[in-house]
């Protein structure tokens, strides 16, 4: 029991630390903190971008969640703004190469982000429970209080959504209007990610919150 409580406290501390790092990073950026003078300008910009992205993707850990997409978009746009503030002609040859490579990387990432978001929207109807699970997991990551009974009511509706979706798909197959194999495989991959997120959310609370465990004995997905 002590080991379990210790593990839970450690996870809480880790989550708070990640959130604090992200807040500090955003605060520093908002106040225009200069790049560390102990390294080259380009190295400082690239390193800070990598750190910010690592922290952000740990806090927003479901790939296609709207919050994650928006946060990543803002980060990439800010990275481009940081890059544009650098005088290209004053860089040495190696730094100019880094500048161009990093610029292309950021633009490619923004384009990929848009494509991935659009692809998820195409199969959103096949995962009607996605927004619920994403919301529950993000609330957990923000360390906000979750009411066990309200969560149970929400989660208990997932099997009904699945059954309704199954009926709709069967009807679509009969009518010849069912989604194609590509959309089906994409949706299956999303379901796997959502199942992992829901299990992670459930496991986080069940070990130390008796009321939560009573209302939600096991995840339904």
How high is the pLDDT of residue 33?
53
Angle at CA of residue 220, ends 219 and 221, nearest 5°: 100
Percent of the chain with pLDDT over 70: 80
pLDDT at 38 over 70: no
How high is the pLDDT of residue 101?
94
Percent of the chain with pLDDT over 90: 35
Higher per-residue confidence, 9 vs 123:
123
Calculate the average pLDDT of the chain. 81
Half-sphere exposure of 153 (CA within 13 A, CB side): 4
How high is the pLDDT of residue 148?
84
How high is the pLDDT of residue 13?
47
pLDDT at 36 over 70: no
Give pTM, 2 decimals: 0.69
Could you read off the pLDDT of 129-151 as tens digits, one per residue?
Answer: 999 999 999 888 888 888 888 88
CA distance 195 to 218: 12
| Mean pLDDT in residue range 67-73 | 91
Q: How confident is the model at residue 93 (pLDDT cuts 50, 70, 90)?
A: confident
How high is the pLDDT of residue 218?
60
Residue 92, SS3?
coil
Chain CA centroid to CA 84, Å? 27
Residue 22, SS3?
helix
| Mean pLDDT in residue range 16-24 | 52
CA distance readout (Å), 15 to 20, 42, 95, 202: 9, 30, 36, 16
Contact 62, 193 (CB under 8 A): yes
Higher per-residue confidence, 197 vs 218:
197
């Amino acid at each position: 029991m002590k080991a379990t409580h210790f593990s839970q406290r450690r996870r809480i501390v880790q989550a708070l630390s990640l959130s604090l790092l992200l807040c500090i990073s955003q605060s520093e950026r908002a106040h225009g903190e200069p790049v560390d003078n102990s390294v080259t300008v380009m190295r400082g910009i690239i390193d800070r971008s990598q750190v910010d992205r690592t922290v952000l993707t740990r806090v927003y850990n479901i790939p296609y969640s709207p919050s994650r997409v928006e946060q990543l978009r803002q980060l990439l746009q800010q990275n481009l703004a940081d890059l544009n503030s650098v005088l290209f002609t004053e860089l040495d040859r190696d730094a100019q190469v880094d500048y161009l490579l990093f610029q292309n990387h950021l633009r490619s990432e923004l384009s990929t982000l848009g494509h991935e978001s659009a692809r998820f929207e195409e199969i959103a109807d096949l995962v009607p429970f996605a927004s619920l699970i994403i919301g529950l997991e993000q609330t957990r990551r923000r360390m906000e209080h979750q009411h066990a009974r309200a969560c149970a009511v929400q989660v208990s509706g997932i099997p009904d959504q699945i059954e309704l979706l199954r009926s709709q798909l069967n009807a679509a197959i009969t009518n010849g209007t069912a989604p194609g194999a590509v959309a089906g495989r994409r949706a299956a991959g999303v379901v796997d990610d959502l199942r992992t997120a829901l299990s992670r959310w459930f496991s986080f609370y069940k070990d130390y919150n008796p009321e939560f465990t009573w209302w939600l004995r096991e995840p339904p997905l």
